[in-house]
Amino acid sequence: MSAIRIILERRSGRVEAAIARDDRLVDFRTAPFGDEPAEDVTGRLFLARVTALDRHVDGAFLDIGGDRPGFVLARDARHAAAPTATKGRARSVLEEGRSLLVQGIREAEGDKGPRMTAGPALDGRFLVMRPGRSGIDASPGLRGRARDETLGRAATLLDAGHGWTLRRLAADVDDPLLTEDAGLLLRTWREKQALLDGTRTKPGALAGALEPFEALIWRLLDQPTASIEAADDGLLTRLRRMLALLPEPLRCDLERLDPASGAFEQTGVLEEIERATARELPLAGGGRIIVEHTAACTAIDVDGGGRAALDVDLEAAAEIGLQLRLRNIGGTVIVDFVDLPTRPQRQRLEEALRKAVRGDPMPVQIYPMSPLGIVQLSRTRRGATPLIGSPGSHPGTKSPGRTKPCPACAGRGTVGR
């Protein structure tokens, strides 16, 4: 698999990161940058207070210091009780008035508030710490012999009272750097735990071990990266300081783009964003896919445009796998492929679809094709949808996406600068 390029651009108090491979946009992330208050919930730590229980769905509403209450399921609160807590024991920590440390896992959407978990994951440079859990594992970016050797080395360095995930770069940094990273995460977690003793009673967002921009970059560097490109000198200065922590052979190229125009405009990212936010996407060999979002599901229609059915379906499967991730489509997805007459053709399409979603960081379940050519998928959705925003955003809430609904037809278009 080819290495990625990361293209960064500053916009409205945030940094947008376009992740490209082979000149195609494959992912898009954002993070706050500077002093402007962040409205994001996903990935942030909060001191929360239980305000009400919802026994119908076995969860609780939380005051997290914002305009809208957060929500946590009992199964996501078990780590606040103990790492090995049963479901019943986990439910017992959800008592009205109790304070919890929680982390956002999904933004508010429609009439639903943000989803939280009491089993947070703290981002470091080379490590991710999972407080109160056990075991050491490795991210998908760390493979083979390097994975086994780094896991063995980390077992002697890391606090066994917590869970840890090793990032790709952990294999090539020395023990002092790993120990320093672990120490930073441990100190951060202990500081947050101290707040539960009453030193801070007002719910609200808490600072993580790293600033959001730094956490984003280290997370992205978990993939083999050829270059990071930006036209903003402030971003480039921060990036140089970060990359200086790495041994020279591990540093990706840092490319300064022309500051006279935007980084996305110079690198073709704007065109890719237009494609990734469109209702209709033409396929390179002919035909198209049409994406429709409804309250119950996302429906995707494959239009063959006169091409051979298997050819267009195989190309559409690859594009659908990419669009699921780019648009952060979650829940039920119904795909109406061009009908295939034979079982071997249908099996080949199903395998192509499984391959297309293999690199997705979220679990994707694919069900067998029906006799009418319908395939149902189920995808977990976490976090925000930075390209498209939340279709059902609560009134008064700023959408983090690059599109907004048209007041005349409710379609979506690119947000102007």
Q: Which domains are assigned to the chain?
A: 1-43+209-276 (3.30.420), 45-120 (2.40.50.140), 278-379 (3.40.630)
Query: Phi and psi at residue 35, in whole multiples of 5°?
Result: -95, -5
Give the C-alpha separation, 126 to 18, whole Å: 22
> What is the SS3 string spanning 332-395?
EEEEECCCCCCHHHHHHHHHHHHHHCCCCCCCEEECCCCCCCEEEEEECCCECCCCCCCCCCCC
User: Which of 373, 371, 390 has its CA nearest to residue 316?
Assistant: 373
- Residues 321-371 have pLDDT tens digits of 999 988 888 889 999 999 988 889 999 999 999 999 988 888 899 998 887
- Residues 272-292 have pLDDT tens digits of 888 888 899 999 999 999 999
Give the C-alpha separation, 273 to 387, whole Å: 7
The pLDDT > 90 percentage for the chain reads 58
pLDDT of residue 393: 37
Q: Is the pLDDT of residue 415 over 50?
A: no
Query: In this predicted structure, which of 93-102, 160-169, 275-284, 375-384 has the lowest mean pLDDT?
Result: 375-384
Mean pLDDT for all residues in the chain:
86
pLDDT of residue 61: 94
- Model confidence at 92, in pLDDT bands (50, 70, 90)? low
- Model confidence at 177, in pLDDT bands (50, 70, 90)? very high
pLDDT of residue 360: 86
pTM over 0.85: no
CB atoms within 10 A of CB 359: 15
More confident site: 79 or 396:
79
Q: Residues 7-13: contacts with CB within 8 Å, 24+ apart?
A: 7/228, 7/229, 7/230, 7/263, 7/264, 7/267, 7/269, 8/228, 8/229, 8/230, 8/232, 8/235, 8/263, 9/230, 9/231, 9/232, 9/262, 9/263, 9/264, 9/269, 10/232, 10/234, 10/235, 11/417
Beta-strand relationship, 288-293 and 298-303: antiparallel
